[in-house]
């Protein structure tokens, strides 16, 4: 079994072990595959453009998770309907892009949102302070000489 990079292990650890997960910008599907293997719950893995084809190929190469991973093609939170998922994960993008997606992620009404930017963590911090959410868990890890922050957020009731 392929071991996830440390930063993705950190994201997986922050992700609840029950319910449906949306992995936005899933890349080559490493996290989605890891989550499906760990929990055997549905993961909706999304990508855009040519990266979507690569995601589908990567997931197809791991037959034991087919049942648990649904791939969807689309921009940001567009492929996810309100109330459809328990957890939304957005990892591996710049902090400004993730910050820009946070309002739409909250509008989908998940139980929790897990964020991990590649850089500009301060932009994510600012967006969290401005939105109707609270930090439920926070962690920092080092992976291959870089530092990564992960937040698990819950919606603040109005």
Ligand X SMILES: C[S@@+](CC[C@H](N)C(=O)[O-])C[C@H]1O[C@@H](n2cnc3c(N)ncnc32)[C@H](O)[C@@H]1O
Binding residues for ligand X restricted to 10-29, rule: CB under 6 A: 24-27
Residue of the chain from 48, 56, 126, 141 that contacts ligand X (CB under 6 A)? 48
Query: Does the footprint of ligand X cover residue 34 (CB under 6 A)?
Result: no
Among 60, 75, 109, 119, binds ligand X (CB under 6 A): 75
Task: Choose the binding region for ligand X from 46-54, 107-115, 132-140, 143-151 (rule: CB under 6 A).
Answer: 46-54
What single DSSP character describes residue 158?
-
60 counts as binding ligand X under rule CB under 6 A: no
Task: Write out the DSSP string of 73-133.
Answer: E-STTTT--TTS-SEEEEESS-HHHHHHHHHHHHHT--SEEEEE-SS-HHHHHHHHHHSSE
Out of 14, 34, 42, 47, the residue judged to bind ligand X by CB under 6 A: 47
| CA–CA distances in Å: residue 136 to residues 33, 100, 109 | 24, 20, 16
User: Of these, 51, 73, 86, 111, which contacts ligand X (CB under 6 A)?
Assistant: 51
User: At 143, is the secondary structure helix, strand, or coil?
Assistant: strand
Nearer to ligand X, 103 or 156 (CB): 103
- Taking CB under 6 A as the binding criterion, the range among 47-55, 62-70, 133-141, 148-156 that sits at the site for ligand X is 47-55
List CB contacts of 52: < 8 A, sequence separation 6 or more: 71, 73
Backbone angles phi, psi at 51, to 5 degrees: -65, -25
34, 92, 110, 117: residue in contact with ligand X (rule CB under 6 A): 92
Q: Are 109 and 85 in contact (CB under 8 A)?
A: no
Task: Note the residues at the interface with ligand X (CB under 6 A).
Answer: 8, 24-27, 30-31, 46-48, 51, 75-76, 91-93, 97
């Amino acid at each position: 079994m392929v071991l996830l990079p440390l930063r993705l292990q950190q994201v997986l650890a922050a992700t609840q072990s029950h319910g449906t997960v949306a992995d936005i910008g899933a890349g080559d599907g490493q996290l989605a595959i890891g989550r499906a293997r760990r929990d055997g719950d549905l993961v909706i893995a999304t990508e855009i453009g040519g990266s979507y084809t690569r995601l589908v190929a990567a997931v197809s190469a791991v037959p034991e998770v087919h049942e648990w991973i649904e791939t969807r093609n689309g921009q940001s939170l567009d492929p996810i309907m309100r109330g459809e998922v328990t957890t939304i994960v957005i990892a591996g993008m710049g902090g400004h892009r993730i910050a820009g997606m946070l309002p739409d992620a909250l509008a989908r009404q998940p139980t929790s949102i897990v964020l991990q930017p590649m850089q500009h963590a301060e932009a994510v911090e600012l967006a969290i302070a401005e939105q109707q959410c609270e930090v439920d868990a926070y962690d920092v890890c080092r992976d291959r000489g870089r530092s990564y922050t992960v937040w698990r957020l819950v919606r603040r009731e109005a």
